[in-house]
Amino acid sequence: MPPIVEVKSLTKIYYRDSQKIPVLENLSLLIDDGEFLALMGPSGSGKTTLLNCLAGIDTPSSGSIVIGQEEITKLRGKSLALWRSQNIGFIFQLYNLIPVLTAFQNVELPLLLTKLSRKERHEHVETALSIVGLSDRIHHFPRQLSGGQEQRVAIARAIVSDPQLLLADEPTGDLDAKSADEILELLSQLNKEYNKTIIMVTHDPRAAQKSGRVIYLDKGVLSEQKE
């Protein structure tokens, strides 16, 4: 079976006036379908930039990214936005929930871009919130939830469209130890029981231990790989 993610010779350079700032340098990576991958490295090593390139949020300077059968580095504009909405679930460190919307409404947001009927959207949302254990918080606003519950809502929003990839950027970085462990268990469950491919950026070695493979970035270079 071919890998679900194939990154070839990926380079990303930012420019500050006339100064070149290389962030990713000729990086290549294969990720199998159903893997739970942890991406570690010091601040400024390019971890979040790589995640954003995989999500189609940022555009590499050169190289290619193939996810599934789609070379996303060739997509632009509406085609890229449509692909991202159907294939990527993004989990942020600070949840990025909309305060004036309930848990249900926050999770439903990605589905408003689809052709699903109102009834189908509601069924998807209820299923996603059930998976993350928040069926009893469906009408609560973010301010009425704990940090761990807010992150669960964010995870439900990420999985509600049944994406190929879950990309998590420091998903436990703003949580206490107990809530962080619960979120990591949930991610592990999504990987093992629902066969979700997960790429997680983390600084926490304990979080990385929940993954099946850890890779290390140092100054934009893939410097070490452990099975």
In Å, how far are 119, 160, 176 from 85, measured between CA atoms?
20, 11, 30
220 vs 49: CA distance, rounded Å: 9
Quick one: which of 195, 221, 199 has its CA closest to 211?
199
pLDDT of res. 1: 77
User: pLDDT (tens digit, 9 = 90+) per residue, 64-106?
Assistant: 999 998 999 999 999 999 899 899 999 998 999 999 999 999 9
Q: What is the mean pLDDT of the chain?
A: 93
pLDDT of res. 90: 95
pLDDT score of 154 more than 80: yes
Question: Is the separation of the CB atoms in 26 and 53 below 8 Å?
Answer: no
Strand partners, 3: none
pLDDT of res. 188: 96
pLDDT of res. 227: 45
Task: Express as a percent the part of the chain with pLDDT over 90.
Answer: 83
Question: Is the separation of the CB atoms in 173 and 203 below 8 Å?
Answer: yes
pLDDT of res. 2: 84
- Domains of the chain as residue ranges with CATH: 5-226 (3.40.50.300)
